[in-house]
């Protein structure tokens, strides 16, 4: 299929590196046209090159997920060009500071909640009509074990992931009876990413799995 508008359409947030980039490449190689988002277009260009090398196609959409009008403009553009969305991968995340709850910086807390939770609600809010128009759509949210198993000093990140899991599960229950939308909450576990390196600076990266393994798990979850 040479016309990208005839390909199934996937949107991946945080696609400039790590799990997001690997998932975008895997989806493109599997035949999707992939909208890749992140804050910096230069970083997205690297992912775009990898997608092209894999024989796939992508559209770069650089913006900050806390920019709600940008999310709304993106939804309008997708509706105009494709009229539907087949796969939404909510991967972008903010680790924030690892500190005792009373010592968390307010700006840091606000940023973590804005990126990990509120932005994902906005994405679902504006993209739900496009997901409903797809023959069979999937929403994938990346989480962490701390979302269900509290860990000291991880308060902001853990709270955001716990709330995200609940949000996605709730949305899944709402749409399952009346649409072909499926929701998936995936905990990638220890993975070789920049966020992991920040959280565990003394860890040998070679001892944890690469992002491509998580991408394979996500694609397996999408199989129908």
Q: Which residues are catalytic?
A: 157
Sequence length of the chain is: 224
Q: Residue 80 class from Cβ within 10 Å (0-12 exposed, 13-18 middle, 19+ buried)?
A: exposed
- Give the C-alpha separation, 165 to 105, whole Å: 24
Could you give the 3-state DSSP secondary structure of residue 61?
strand
The C-alpha atoms of residue 181 and residue 153 are separated, in whole angstroms, by 36
Across the strands, what pairs with 20? none
* Pairing mode of beta strands 9-13, 87-90: parallel
129: number of Cβ within 10 Å: 13
Classify the C-alpha dihedral 198-199-203-205 as positive or negative: negative
């Amino acid at each position: 299929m040479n016309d990208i508008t005839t390909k199934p359409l996937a949107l991946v947030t945080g696609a400039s590196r790590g799990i997001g980039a690997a998932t975008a490449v895997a989806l493109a190689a599997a035949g999707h046209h992939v909208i890749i988002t992140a804050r910096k277009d230069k970083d997205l260009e690297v992912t775009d090159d990898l997608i092209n090398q894999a024989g796939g196609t992508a559209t770069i959409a650089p913006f900050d997920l806390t920019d709600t009008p940008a999310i709304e403009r993106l939804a309008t553009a997708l509706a105009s060009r494709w009229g539907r969305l087949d796969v939404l991968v909510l991967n972008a995340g903010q680790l924030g500071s690892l500190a005792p709850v009373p010592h968390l910086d307010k700006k840091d807390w606000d940023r973590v909640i804005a990126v990990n939770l509120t932005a994902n609600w906005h994405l679902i809010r504006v993209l739900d009509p496009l997901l409903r128009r797809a023959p069979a759509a999937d929403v994938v949210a990346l989480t962490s074990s701390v979302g269900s198993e509290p860990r000291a000093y991880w308060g902001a990140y853990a709270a955001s992931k716990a709330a995200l899991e609940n949000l996605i599960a709730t949305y899944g229950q709402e749409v399952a009876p009346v649409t072909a939308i499926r929701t998936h909450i995936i905990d990638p576990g220890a993975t070789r990413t920049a966020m992991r390196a920040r959280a565990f600076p003394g860890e040998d990266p070679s001892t944890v799995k690469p992002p491509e393994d998580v991408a394979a798990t996500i694609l397996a979850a999408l199989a129908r």
